[in-house]
C-alpha cells in the first residue's frame, strides 16, 4: 500500500495553482482556511467552499494544516475557554465535511524560524537555512530582547557581534526581515515592537507550564475528535529547541512520548516531520517511527543537513542527515501492518528553475516540491516492489 501523496496549498491566493499540484502527481491537497481569524469557528459553508475548489481540480482534501491554536489557549488566559469551544465546533464541522486529520502546532508566537529564506546552494537553487550565530546576533543586537544575553555564552556573544559587524546594512535588514516573517502562508511580517510585546506575554511560562497547557487543551478537544472520527496530529517545533526565550515542548522523542501517554487516545497523534525532528542529532528518526507507529497520522518528508556549530539547511530530500530510504521502508511496513495509506507531503523544496523568478512562499515553490515528490515516489515505488 502506497502513501496518500499530497502537497500543501495556501488557498486561492497561492501562486502555485491546484492544476500544478495535480500535474505533480498528487491525489490530494493539504490546506487550511487562513482567512478565518485564529480562535473563530470554521463553518461548514467555508469548509465546503474550499473543498469544492479542490474536488473540481480532481483531488481530495482530507488533511487540514493547520487548524491553529490561539495564543490565549497556549497561555491559558484571555478568551481561551471560548477558543477551545470554537475549536471543538470547528472539529465537528470538519468531520461533517469529510476531513480526517487535523494538524496543529503548539509553538508560542512564531512558527518555523530561518535566518535565510533564499540560501544559494551549489547548483544555484535556493534553500531555507538556519545560522545559529546570525540568530544570536539578531536576538542580542537587532531585536535587543531583554535578558537575551543571559541565554548565550560570552564566546557566542562576541562571535555574533563580530559577525554582525561584518555585515552591511542591507544584509542586516534582510536578516531582520527573515526572522520576523509571520506564519507560513502570510505575506505579513511582525514588527520588533509586536514581537517584544508578544514575548512579554509569555513571561513566567516555562516548558512545564506550557506542557500543562497543551495537555489541558488535548484533554478538552481529543474526546471530541475521537467521537467524530478525526485524528489530531501535532507538528514538532521548528527549530526543535527553545528560541527567543520561549519554551518549545514538541522537539524530542521524549516530548512526543509524554504527549501521547498524557492523553492516551488513538485520536491523539503525531504529524511526523522528518525535517523538524531531524534537525536534532539526538533524535533517531527511524527508531521514533517504530516507537510511535500506531500514533502517526500524517507525514512530512523532508531532509535537513546539520553541522557541529548548530546550523542546518533544507537539503535535497534524499541527501540530508536522515536516511530517507530507511524512513520510507519503515513507513511502508507501518502501513502494511495498520492496513492504511498514510497521508504524506514533501516539504520545504528548493526554489529552482523558473520558480527562481517568482515570488513564492519560502519553501513552497512548485518545482522544488515536484522534484522532491518525484524522488520520494521513486524510492517508495521501488521499495514497494521488494516488500510484497
Which of the residues are catalytic? 235, 273, 300, 347-348, 364
Which cell numbers hold the place of 301?
518528508
Phi and psi, residue 15, nearest 5°: -70, -20
CA distances from 350 to 30, 88, 178, 268 (A): 19, 36, 17, 32
Residue 204 to residue 186: CA distance in whole angstroms? 29
Contact indicator for 373, 346 with CB cutoff of 8 Å:
yes
CA atoms within 13 A on the CB side of 164: 23
3-class SS at 143? coil
Q: Regarding beta strands 116-120 and 126-130, do their DSSP bridges make them parallel or antiparallel, or are they unpaired?
A: antiparallel
Q: At 236, list the grid cell.
A: 514538532
Query: Using alpha carbons only, what angle is made at residue 365 by residues 361 and 370, rounded to the nearest 5 degrees?
Result: 150
Q: Which of 210, 291, 287 is nearest to 245 (CA)?
A: 210
Count of alpha carbons within 13 angstroms of residue 295, beta-carbon side: 21
Q: How far apart are CA 336 and CA 32, in angstroms?
A: 29
The number of residues making up the chain comes to 388
- From 214, 170, 203, select the one nearest 80 (Cα to Cα): 214
Q: What share of the chain is helix, strand, coil (3-state, %, to 5)?
A: 45, 15, 40
Under 8 Å between Cβ of 10 and 31:
yes
Helical (H) or strand (E) element with 104: strand 101-104
DSSP 121: P
Amino acid at each position: 500500500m502506497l502513501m496518500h501523496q499530497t502537497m500543501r496549498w495556501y488557498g486561492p491566493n497561492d501562486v502555485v495553482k491546484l492544476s500544478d499540484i495535480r500535474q505533480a502527481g498528487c491525489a490530494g491537497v493539504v490546506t487550511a482556511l487562513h482567512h478565518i481569524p485564529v480562535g473563530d469557528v470554521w463553518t461548514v459553508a467555508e469548509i465546503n467552499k474550499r473543498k469544492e475548489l479542490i474536488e473540481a481540480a480532481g483531488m481530495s482534501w482530507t488533511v487540514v494544516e493547520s487548524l491553529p491554536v490561539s495564543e490565549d489557549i497556549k497561555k491559558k488566559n484571555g478568551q481561551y475557554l471560548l477558543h477551545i469551544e470554537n475549536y471543538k465546533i470547528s472539529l465537528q464541522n470538519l468531520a461533517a465535511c469529510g476531513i480526517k486529520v487535523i494538524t496543529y502546532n503548539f509553538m508560542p508566537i512564531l512558527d518555523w524560524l530561518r535566518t535565510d529564506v533564499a540560501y544559494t546552494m551549489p547548483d544555484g537553487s535556493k534553500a531555507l537555512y538556519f545560522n545559529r550565530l546570525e540568530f544570536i546576533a539578531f536576538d542580542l543586537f537587532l531585536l535587543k530582547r531583554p535578558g537575551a544575553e543571559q541565554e548565550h555564552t560570552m564566546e557566542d556573544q562576541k562571535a555574533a557581534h563580530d559577525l554582525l559587524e561584518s555585515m552591511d546594512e542591507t544584509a542586516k535588514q534582510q536578516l531582520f526581515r527573515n526572522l520576523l516573517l509571520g506564519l507560513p502562508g502570510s505575506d505579513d511580517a511582525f514588527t520588533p515592537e509586536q514581537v517584544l510585546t508578544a514575548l512579554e506575554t509569555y513571561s513566567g511560562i516555562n516548558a512545564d507550564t506550557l506542557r500543562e497547557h497543551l495537555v489541558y487543551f488535548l484533554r478538552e478537544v481529543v474526546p471530541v475528535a475521537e467521537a467524530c472520527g478525526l485524528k489530531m496530529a501535532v507538528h514538532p517545533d521548528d527549530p526543535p529547541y527553545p528560541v527567543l526565550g520561549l519554551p518549545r515542548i514538541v522537539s524530542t522523542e521524549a516530548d512526543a512520548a509524554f504527549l501521547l501517554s498524557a492523553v492516551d487516545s488513538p485520536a491523539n497523534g503525531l504529524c511526523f516531520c522528518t525535517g523538524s525532528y531531524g534537525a536534532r542529532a539526538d533524535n533517531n528518526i527511524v527508531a521514533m517511527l517504530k516507537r510511535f507507529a500506531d500514533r502517526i497520522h500524517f507525514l512530512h518528508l523532508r531532509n535537513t543537513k546539520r553541522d557541529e556549530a548548530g546550523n542546518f539547511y533544507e537539503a535535497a530530500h534524499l541527501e540530508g542527515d536522515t536516511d530517507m530510504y530507511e524512513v520510507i521502508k519503515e513507513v511502508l511496513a507501518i502501513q502494511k501492518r495498520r492496513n492504511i495509506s498514510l497521508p504524506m507531503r514533501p516539504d520545504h523544496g528548493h526554489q529552482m528553475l523558473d520558480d527562481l523568478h517568482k515570488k513564492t512562499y519560502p519553501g513552497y515553490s512548485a518545482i522544488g516540491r515536484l522534484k522532491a515528490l518525484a524522488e520520494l515516489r521513486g524510492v517508495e515505488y521501488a521499495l514497494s516492489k521488494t516488500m510484497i
